[in-house]
Structure 1
Amino acid sequence: MKKIFIIIMATTLLALPSCKKYLDVEPVDLVSDGETIFDKTSAETALRGAYRGLASLNYSGGFQNTILQSGADVVSVNTSLTDLSVTNYNLRSDIPFLQTYWNNNYNTINRTNHIIEKVPAVTDLKLADGIRNQVIGEAYFIRALSYFDLARLYGNVQIFLTPTKVVADKLGVKKSTKEQVLAQVLDDLNKAEPLLSTTVIRNRANKFTLYALRARLYLYQQKYEEAEKEADKVLANSNFKLIKPFNLAAGTTESIFELTYSINDQNPGFTLWRGNRQLSPSTTLHNLLNDPAVGGGRKLLSVVNTSNQYIGGIFPVNTSPNYVLRTAEVYLIRAEARAKKTTPDLEGATADLNEVRLRSDIAKTTATTKEQIILAIENERRVELALEPHRWFDLVRTGRAPAVLGLSNANKYIFPIPAAEILANPALVQNPDY
């Protein structure tokens, strides 16, 4: 069994894409410590490699495709057997994209583990303490985001906090519970906080990026008072404002954390919506976005082409950014937290909800009771974040998947552990019902 594991891992490592612009921080059985991180330049290059892991791997077009289809508001243009397995919530553990998502997140985590372990020991005088701290803090943030997504995708997963130096490092490591993984996410964010700058650079982590992710984490953990406080920290800063009329563009106050691309490193999600596109907004979603009383200015997210087809407008060009955290989401996080906390603040929740609605030229909500307001917030998230991978996760975390999707088997709310991982590591146990 150990031989099988080594063969599979070696094959995976050799198949990783390379990029001459970035230093791939790989296990030291392939790249020596001296060649990875040894001075200021290599430390910063390794950090760029970790960000590139997020942009090109973790938030790939395939990830978006799967999560958007799972939420049922986006449909496949050319339905394949794989698409049907997603939309029927009948995934097989040997479907290749499950292995891809698993590998992508753990490869990015391994890059951050190298940074976290090695950068503190770098003696280069050019690596001043402020720069050193920022690099380490950003690595903690990236690792936190990767583990957060692994927990959302697979539930119980393995936790690795040191670099994979030999293939056998992963052998025998059992899964941690989802709660333990989310606790690790929080620990990473807490460690990153004193290291990060308050300077806002929208494609790099800073304190406000951290606050936004921590607010989202607390919402998932149903820690509503804490989620509200984290959202307060973001929305009190004038760098984060809603833009009227509705517009998604790189580097604006609508963006808290975005992944950037170039003509030589294009957004992998672009081809989902343009050219030989793979996805289309559903008829229901298109009608919602184009209803003046619901979508308002957000109608640009779903337009009709000359062939009378629905075209998603999230990425107008192939260098459009990928939005991971947005100001509107934080308003809606705070709205939901205020409505659901132990002593609800329905007036505050309604005010936040209306900020998002009025920005999109929609009338204030008519919801008045707690239940009505919570449902109104859910519906606003559906429209505001329509072509971003949130709807599926929202319906799962709120327990609304049975009512909305007709999916009552909670075991299907997470994906199966890839079959190759189960075969390679006897310590891994498959998720129930897979």
Structure 2
Amino acid sequence: MKKISYIAMVLGSSLLLPACQDQLDLQPISQTVVGGSGTGTAGSTITNAATAEAALAGSYAIFKNGSAEYYVMDYFILGDGQSDNSYAGADNAAWFEVDEYRILSTNAVAARDWQYLYNHVASANSIIANVPTVTDASLSADRKAQIVGEAKFIRARAYFDLVRIYGDVPLVVDELPTITSENVDEIYGQLYPARSTAEEVYAQIIKDLDEAGTAVPKTGPNKMTATPGAVYTLATKVYATRKDWAKVKEHADKVIALGYTLMPNFEDLWDGKHENSAEAIFELNFEDWATGGNWGSSMFYGTDWKKFNTPSNDLIKAYDDEKDVVRKASTIFTANVTGKWSDKYWALTKFPFAYKMRNTDASQNIIMYRLADVLLLKAEALNETGDLAGARTLVNRIRTRAKLPVTTAGDQAAMRLAIEKERRLELAFEGQRWYDLVRTGRVVPVMEAAKDGSGNSLNYKLTDTRLLWPVPQGEIDKNTNLKQNNGY
């Protein structure tokens, strides 16, 4: 496995070196900075218990600050706007490219999300590399292990998105010292790495999660803590992507055994009155603008300007065909926007908005992982391994909460489609749909079948070469060892 080193850089600036005559203007691939000094690595500031805890807090804060544009906005447009759940909406040309499968290697969103995710990798790497070396007696061995485990979860989570979005990516897992004119020849090749294979990246993700599962704290002050539930949920999703159904069942059962329960009412998940609920497993907590407020809600909901992730005709038809009144009401809001903007898909008198993030005062939490997702993944695993009855039981648990009759799926093929539909209606606008369709091999036929409100084909020209985003051209320009994905 390629293990490529991480170099500390100050975000948005050239590499800082201790002596003016030694400064080198190197802009290595994939690496951004989350702190550090010009005289060592980013982790050189981790020297005692307080700085170790501060580094971990800083890594969590990246969900809300350093890479917020990805976690509160891009994550959801990528997962839903790229699928049949929604149109890109708004007026951003880069997102129109994504929505219509004509993305270019110079796409601004592809470039920034690459950097945002590697920024999170960098923060985790410095913790993993440096916290074990702290000798401060007030930082116990158990707490060191917890901190490193939490960082490994954060790193695995970022790499899971990177490998699903871009495919083969550089695998950055170590730190380097500050680069000077004296050592540049020695480590130059590591600054400009080739892409590791997706298999190698997945192997590292699984290794991180295996090591994190027994190390992370059992609980935290809120659900924005990498606990065993969060680790095992991510592992469940990774193994579902890999189609390792035995491992999906194993890790889903680990999550279920931890005591999470479905909220009795679907609306409870989104009304802002039940944050960090019994169903939530990993949740980004937001309070106000001063502490990294969630501005993403205003990107999806409101009539002051045309928002992103406009619900598709196809999604609303899916709710209506299923007579799914409960989940539709919590997922989609409509308003009269006559005179405010134009739209080629919807009448302005009843214009739809994504509704699960609806509080625009900065306090809207984001549920990244929850029990219903895990139950449906286990149902999928049971169905794929011949346990139709077990799959049906789990699907019906989800449908019962939505006040729907039991599933009529009578064989494995029908149950596959029933689970696909259930995941769509349950998890719409939670950033899941695109990845579900890709991992099940259903994305091309599903998108080819997508229609507008009049029943006309949307004529999406999606091919297998467009299931991955391009490696950002700016990264290739800096690193000739990077090769572009096919089709770009």
Q: TM-score, normalised on structure 1? A: 0.90
- 1:280-291 residue pairs with structure 2 within 5 A? 280-289=310-319
Are 2:58 and 1:49 equivalent residues in the alignment? yes
Aligned to 2:293: 266
Q: Is the 8 A contact 2:95 2:109 kept in 1?
A: no
Q: Is the 8 A contact 2:41 2:177 kept in 1?
A: no
Matched residue SS, 1:358: helix
Over 3 Å counting, the alpha-carbon distance change for 1:316 and 1:291 in structure 2 is farther
Deviation at residue 69 of structure 1 after TM alignment = 1.3
User: CA separation in 2, counterparts of 1:333 and 1:61?
Assistant: 25
User: CA separation in 1, counterparts of 2:42 and 2:296?
Assistant: 34
User: CA separation in 1, counterparts of 2:126 and 2:377?
Assistant: 33
Aligned to 2:487: 433
Q: Is the 8 A contact 1:339 1:374 kept in 2?
A: yes
Deviation at residue 410 of structure 1 after TM alignment = 1.3
Aligned to 1:322: 366
Aligned to 2:211: 191
Query: Which amino acid is 2:390 matched to?
Result: G
Over 3 Å counting, the alpha-carbon distance change for 1:127 and 1:340 in structure 2 is same
- 1:214-229 residue pairs with structure 2 within 5 A? 214-229=235-250
User: CA separation in 1, counterparts of 2:313 and 2:436?
Assistant: 20
Matched residue SS, 1:137: helix
Over 3 Å counting, the alpha-carbon distance change for 1:169 and 1:259 in structure 2 is farther
Q: More displaced, 227-236 or 405-414? A: 405-414
Q: More displaced, 369-378 or 164-173? A: 164-173
Are 2:447 and 1:405 equivalent residues in the alignment? yes
Over 3 Å counting, the alpha-carbon distance change for 1:293 and 1:164 in structure 2 is farther
Corresponding pairs, count: 415
Of 252, 257, 265, which aligns to 2:277?
252
Matched residue SS, 2:60: helix
Of 117, 121, 125, which aligns to 2:129?
117
Q: More displaced, 129-138 or 51-60? A: 51-60
CA displacement 1:219-276 (0-9 Å, x = unmatched): 00000011011101111222x1111211214200121001112212112421222233
Q: Is the 8 A contact 1:27 1:163 kept in 2?
A: no
CA displacement 1:74-109 (0-9 Å, x = unmatched): 123334432331122111111111111111111111
Of 345, 351, 355, which aligns to 2:393?
351
Q: More displaced, 177-186 or 300-309? A: 300-309
Larger radius of gyration: 2
Are 2:334 and 1:304 equivalent residues in the alignment? yes
- 1:412-427 residue pairs with structure 2 within 5 A? 412-427=466-481
Matched residue SS, 1:145: helix
Deviation at residue 32 of structure 1 after TM alignment = 5.7
Query: Which amino acid is 2:231 matched to?
Result: L
Aligned to 1:86: 98
Over 3 Å counting, the alpha-carbon distance change for 1:191 and 1:237 in structure 2 is closer
Deviation at residue 394 of structure 1 after TM alignment = 1.0
Q: Is the 8 A contact 1:29 1:165 kept in 2?
A: no
Over 3 Å counting, the alpha-carbon distance change for 1:220 and 1:173 in structure 2 is same
Q: More displaced, 200-209 or 357-366? A: 200-209
Unaligned runs of 5+ in 2: 1-8, 16-32, 180-187, 338-349, 449-460
Are 2:308 and 1:278 equivalent residues in the alignment? yes
Over 3 Å counting, the alpha-carbon distance change for 1:267 and 1:378 in structure 2 is same
Over 3 Å counting, the alpha-carbon distance change for 1:162 and 1:28 in structure 2 is farther
Aligned to 1:12: 12
Q: Is the 8 A contact 1:72 1:87 kept in 2?
A: no
Matched residue SS, 2:130: helix
User: CA separation in 1, counterparts of 2:89 and 2:42?
Assistant: 47
User: CA separation in 2, counterparts of 1:337 and 1:13?
Assistant: 47
**How much is the aligned-residue C-alpha RMSD, in angstroms?**
2.2
Are 2:422 and 1:380 equivalent residues in the alignment? yes
Matched residue SS, 1:161: strand
Q: Is the 8 A contact 1:357 1:364 kept in 2?
A: yes
Q: TM-score, normalised on structure 2? A: 0.80
Q: More displaced, 366-375 or 57-66? A: 57-66
Q: More displaced, 243-252 or 414-423? A: 243-252
Over 3 Å counting, the alpha-carbon distance change for 1:394 and 1:292 in structure 2 is closer
Of 227, 237, 243, which aligns to 1:206?
227
Deviation at residue 112 of structure 1 after TM alignment = 0.7
Over 3 Å counting, the alpha-carbon distance change for 1:268 and 1:432 in structure 2 is farther
Aligned to 1:99: 111
Deviation at residue 396 of structure 1 after TM alignment = 0.9
Query: Which amino acid is 2:132 matched to?
Result: P
Are 2:170 and 1:140 equivalent residues in the alignment? no
Q: Is the 8 A contact 2:327 2:426 kept in 1?
A: no
Aligned to 2:323: 293
Query: Which amino acid is 1:296 matched to?
Result: V
